[in-house]
Structure 1
Amino acid sequence: MTTHELRETRLTIRDGVAEFSHQRPAARNAMSMDMRADYRDMVALVEADAAIRALIITGSGGSFCAGGDVKGMAARVQHGDPTGLPIPQSTRRRLLGEHRAWIDRLRMLDVPVIAAVDGPAFGAGVSLALMADFTLASTRASFSVGFAKIGLVPDFGSFYMLPRVVGLAKAKELMMTARSFGPAEAQALGIVHAIHPPETLLAEAHHLAARLAQGPREALAMIKTTLNRSFEVDYQTMVEIEAHQQAVAMTTPFHSEAVLRFARKEPALYDWDRLSSAEPARGRSPGPDHQK
């Protein structure tokens, strides 16, 4: 097991699964500037490590991410930048552009990303959950696209992702009312994949990640990145992308071994039904940060 202690987060890598945990429980894991820098560093680490086959994003202390660091915002409103001057709009746009870079890279990581949401996922927390390929929620999870409560507009990719997941009309309602909603509604809207008790949430996320990690890394990466582009290209372009991706997939060792196993009537390398029916990792104890 490898552990990277970052500024306000922790990245643990074990058996091909990386777990990235927010470590600001006293602030309900609100998104500080240091945590944003940690995300940038984490994405770079995952991109560089070919042994990582799945990523879990979660929070410590019974919270996922309560949104932006409003206390920090209040300090900037009162005092401006460290010189005491107001922060210019050009500087704000530059900083937001820097954050957008790692958000884009997080969305396009070529490994499955699982968000394990316990407690509040507000504002930026919802955005992070939307960037995941699978979002698991605890029974006490709560969600809010709450930017309008403090006179802001959604960011961290929410304008792009939310209407694609829930539809345009529902996205308008959730953004403009900034209301809270629970895990059952989030699942009905397609934001949440599954709901679990808080005490088993992280173990279920690791169980899902372990199953995905047994899949064809190259094929799953191409499936994910191609689907992420599917709303932006026309039919002809998409089938051309399909042909290119299929040609690449046919050259992978996984494909060769899989078809030989099929011909020999041997167990498949990747059989989701078999993996799902196997004894799940529900007995696995979460890390100490999730036992608080």
Structure 2
Amino acid sequence: MSMIEVSVESGVATLVLANPGRKNAINPALMRELEVVLEALRRDESVKALVLTGAGDDFSAGGDISSSPGGTDAVTIRARLLDYHRVLKTLVDFDRPVIAVVDGVAYGAGFGLALLADFVVASDRARFCFAFSRIGLVPDFGVAYTLPRMIGIQRARALIYSARQISASEALALGIVLEVHPPATLASRARELALATASLSPEGFALTKRLLAQTWELDFASLLDAEANAQALATTSPYVADAVGRFMRKEAPVFQWPE
């Protein structure tokens, strides 16, 4: 049975974690399938934006600890996570806009998966939790990298150490979630955002995403140098020539953020 459903319409790929009977829990089979799908979407130039969501009423309950094929010794666990890391890197380096759409629970690795997107939008019934501390585990799926950069180190510590559940409204206040909507309108708003961002310059967006990813790794002078390189490349794109022409002719731009 397939654990990933994917469809592409008007340049927007919708990728669904499709194991609702297990609240879309993450296991090796799902991650292997996700890797194949992401790589195919990465090569597909018709895909301009990606929406990542879960089937049923939940995004993902996190790691499926009931599916531990091959044992739970340290060597096996490390090897499994290294396999997962290839998938996470493919997602975080995806050079087009990625929007995570969270309804219901986003726990543990599921929460970490959502944080790899460019934006997270959630329903008002969404709940987020890093429960690792409750069972003596450390946060995985890149959480120690993504969360402190998003909300600051002290708040990240508190959220991880406490293993407490937070609501969509608190996630919004912390800056984890960009927008909160009722479940009935969540999918349509996510698609609206995806369609809008799909009209961004492919070259300009990819260069901007790469530049922002270096924010905490480069000193100011190095970042300015990277900025100059990126801008020089972006300026030569056909998108810029068209956008400047539209501006000079007082025509509406191709891209507009949907308010």
TM-score range, shorter chain: over 0.9
| Residue in structure 2 matched with residue 95 of structure 1 by the alignment | 80
Please state how far the C-alpha of 1:217 moved relative to its aligned partner: 1.4
1:248 aligns with 2:233: yes
1:54 alignment partner, one of 46, 49, 53:
49
**1:289 alignment partner in structure 2:** none
Native 8 Å contact 1:118 1:140 kept in 2: yes
Equivalent residue number for residue 187 of structure 2: 202
| 1:124 shift after superposition | 0.7
Secondary structure, in 3 states, of the residue corresponding to 2:190? Answer: helix
Is residue 112 of structure 2 the alignment partner of residue 127 of structure 1?
A: yes
Corresponding position of 2:5: 10
Whichever residue aligns with residue 212 of structure 1, its letter is: T
Query: Could you tell me how far apart the structure 1 residues matched to 2:208 and 2:167 are?
Result: 30
Measured after TM superposition, the shift of residue 87 of structure 1 is 4.8
Q: Which moved more, 1:88-97 or 1:137-146?
A: 88-97
Q: 2:100 aligns with which of 115, 118, 138?
A: 115
Find the partner of 1:159 among 112, 137, 144: 144
Deviation at 1:70, TM superposition (A): 2.2
SS in 1 for 2:227: helix
Match of 2:24 among 19, 29, 39: 29
> Max radius of gyration: which structure?
1
Cα RMSD (Å): 1.4
SS at match of 1:72: coil
Deviations 1:55-85 (A, max 9, x none): 0010111010001102224xx6xxxx3xxxx
CA displacement 1:202-222 (0-9 Å, x = unmatched): 111111100111111111111
**Is 2:245 the counterpart of 1:260?**
yes
**Between Structure 1 and Structure 2, how many residues are aligned?**
259
Q: Deviations over 1:222-246 (max 9, x none)?
A: 1111101111111111111111111
The partner residue of 1:44 within 39, 47, 52 is 39
Contact 1:139 1:196 (C-alpha < 8 Å) held by counterparts? yes
Q: Which amino acid aligns with 2:194?
A: A
- Aligned counterparts of 1:271 and 1:120: Cα–Cα separation in 2: 31
Please state how far the C-alpha of 1:125 moved relative to its aligned partner: 1.2
| Cα offsets for 1:130-185 (capped at 9, x unmatched) | 10111010011000011122221100010100111111111111111111010000
In structure 2, runs of 5+ residues without a counterpart are: none
- Looking at structure 2, the residues matched to 61 and 91 of structure 1 have their Cα atoms a distance apart, in angstroms, of 31
- The answer to whether the Cα contact below 8 Å between 1:7 and 1:34 also exists between their aligned partners in 2 is no
Residues 142, 180 of structure 1: 8 Å contact kept: yes
Answer yes or no: is the 8 Å Cα contact 2:196–2:256 preserved in 1.
no
In 2, Cα distance between equivalents of 1:87 and 1:64: 26
Distance in 2, Cα, partners of 1:171 & 1:229: 20
Displacement, 1:51? 1.1
2: CA distance, partners of 1:19 / 1:68:
22
Amino acid at match of 2:147: L
- Displacement of 1:91: 3.0
Aligned residue in 2 for 1:71: 66
Distance 1:169 1:111 in 2: 31
Instruction: Determine if contact 1:139/1:183 at 8 Å carries over to the other structure.
Output: yes
Rounded to whole Å, the distance in 1 between the matches of 2:223 and 2:34 is 31
The answer to whether the aligner puts 1:271 opposite 2:256 as a matched pair is yes
Match of 1:283 in 2: none
Which of 161, 181, 184 in structure 1 is aligned with 2:166? 181
Aligned to 2:130, which of 133, 139, 145?
145
SS across alignment from 1:131: coil
Cα displacement (A) at 1:266: 2.0
**Could you state the TM-score of these two structures normalised by the residue count of structure 1?**
0.85
